[in-house]
Amino acid sequence: MAIFLTVISVLLLCQFFFTIWNMKQFPVLKPASFSSDEPISLSILIPARNEEKRIEACLQSIVDQRHHPKELIVLDDHSTDQTRAMVERFAETYPWIRVQSGRALKQGWLGKSYACSQLAEVAASNWLLFLDADVRLKRGAIEAIYNQLCTQKTGMLSGFPEQKTGTLFEQLVVPMMMFTIGCHLPVKWVGKSKNPAFAAAHGGFIAIEKTCYYDIGGHEAIKDSLVDDMALARRVKEIGFPFTLASIHPFVYMRMYESGQEVWEGYRKNVFPGVNRNIALLSSVFCVYTMLYLAPVICFMVALLQLDMLSICLATLCYGLGVSIKATIDIENGRTSAMAFLLPVSILSLIAIGFASMKIGLKKEGYEWKGRRYE
């Protein structure tokens, strides 16, 4: 057991140093001045389906900015609540805001991709910023976004907003999204490599230049993809446009889910499709996670019973390294590091969701989200 734990500790130490280096590779949105003669224009596009609990705060965060986009269009995707009425109230005060009625879902399309495609059709700017209704912009966000887009000129920009969490299950699972990115995706290669394998994006925040958007086929090219953000990023890289995965949490935040059930259903919908329904890949990742982050805890308990002090020390070292990796990623993304101590529980939760996602995918039972069923 001591030999096994020694090997694990070496692997975790390497992972720790890689993570520190990797998190420093993110380009960072920076505060910037704004000039009215900027060579770009920006349309903020928000697909909304029954978002009355979220849309008001989203719009308020945008109108509270020092500078505003050229236009803001919300697509009411057949909402049955007060979503449309809330947007219309904003439109009465701000003429650059309007609401668009969504068409009936076409066969072969998934709901969000079809909504985004309709928004792109009516957008007048040369940059399109797709936001989810639960996204909030902090002060100075518009200027920072303009600054990055002016520098980049074309292609796509995405990033992971600061994640606000409430329930315990949210705190355990939601930050694991950045944990997997920080541990496994060489961020430097995301911008430099044309290989679509080195791509990651967050569907809540995607800015894409209009020429690039239509050259890659728009959302129609990925109309049946459950993980539309990743599919769009891969298309951008395949065609050869610039792609930036930036650190946007200083200017953007969100609360993706508001209950443990939403976390379970949301992640279950994305995990298996997110690895292209590759059983071997998902199983391999979970085996590695079990070995690195769960096995040391089990070894610690066994060593404690056997009074094996060497193994107890090594297991404690392994646990501490795992916690340090998680804490590093949490802190770099504007979160507290307190939940890092529950990393083994987060890993167990993620594995449970992953296998539930795989089960549904293999049995073709269909994933349910916001009243729609997806295959």
pLDDT tens, residue by residue, 217-243: 999 999 988 888 999 999 999 999 999
- Write down the mean pLDDT value for the chain: 91
Measured at the CA of 258, the angle between CA 178 and CA 324, to 5 degrees, comes to 30
For 5-39, b where at least 16 C-beta lie within 10 A, e where not — what string?
A: beebbeebeebbeebeebbebbbebeebeeeeeee
Measured at the CA of 131, the angle between CA 191 and CA 106, to 5 degrees, comes to 105
Six-digit token string for 373:
């069923």
What pLDDT is recorded for position 307?
82
H or E segment at 159?
strand 156-159
Q: What is the DSSP letter of 19?
A: H
Which residues touch 121 (CB under 8 Å, ≥6 apart)? none
3-class SS shares of the chain: helix, strand, coil, % to 5: 55, 15, 30
| DSSP calls for 197-236 | TS----TTEEEEEHHHHHHTTGGGGGTT-SSHHHHHHHHH
**Torsion from C-alpha of 123, 126, 130, 135, nearest 10 degrees:** -110
What pLDDT is recorded for position 336?
86
The CATH H-level (homologous superfamily) assignment of domain 42-256 is Spore Coat Polysaccharide Biosynthesis Protein SpsA; Chain A (3.90.550.10)
Measured at the CA of 204, the angle between CA 199 and CA 207, to 5 degrees, comes to 65
How many CA atoms, within 13 angstroms, populate the side-chain half-sphere of residue 343? 26
- Which pLDDT band, with edges at 50, 70 and 90, does 126 fall under? very high
Q: Which residue has the higher pLDDT, 272 or 291?
A: 291
135-157 tens-digit pLDDT: 999 999 999 999 999 989 999 99
Measured at the CA of 225, the angle between CA 224 and CA 230, to 5 degrees, comes to 155
Which residues touch 110 (CB under 8 Å, ≥6 apart)? 223, 224, 225, 226, 228, 374
How many CA atoms, within 13 angstroms, populate the side-chain half-sphere of residue 108? 5
Q: Which residue has the higher pLDDT, 268 or 209?
A: 209
What pLDDT is recorded for position 168?
94
Q: What is the DSSP letter of 39?
A: S
What pLDDT is recorded for position 35?
60
pLDDT at 36 over 60: no
What pLDDT is recorded for position 161?
93
Six-digit token string for 316:
């404690």
Q: What is the DSSP letter of 104?
A: P
Distance in angstroms (rounded) separating the CA atoms of residues 361 and 353: 12
- Which pLDDT band, with edges at 50, 70 and 90, does 372 fall under? low
What pLDDT is recorded for position 308?
87
Distance in angstroms (rounded) separating the CA atoms of residues 147 and 57: 24
pLDDT at 315 over 60: yes
Q: Which residues of the chain form CATH 3.90.550.10?
A: 42-256
What pLDDT is recorded for position 5?
93
Directed axis angle between helix 343-363 and helix 176-184, to 10°?
90
236-287 tens-digit pLDDT: 999 999 999 999 999 999 998 888 898 998 888 888 887 778 888 889 999 9
Q: Which residue has the higher pLDDT, 176 or 272?
A: 176
Which residues touch 72 (CB under 8 Å, ≥6 apart)? 43, 44, 45, 46, 59, 62, 94, 96, 97, 98
Taking alpha carbons only, the member of 189, 158, 355, 173 closest to residue 275 is: 355
What pLDDT is recorded for position 144?
93
- Which pLDDT band, with edges at 50, 70 and 90, does 206 fall under? very high
pLDDT at 368 over 80: no
What pLDDT is recorded for position 359?
87
Distances (CA, A) of 192 to 16, 156, 226, 237, 323: 23, 13, 26, 10, 30
What pLDDT is recorded for position 367?
63
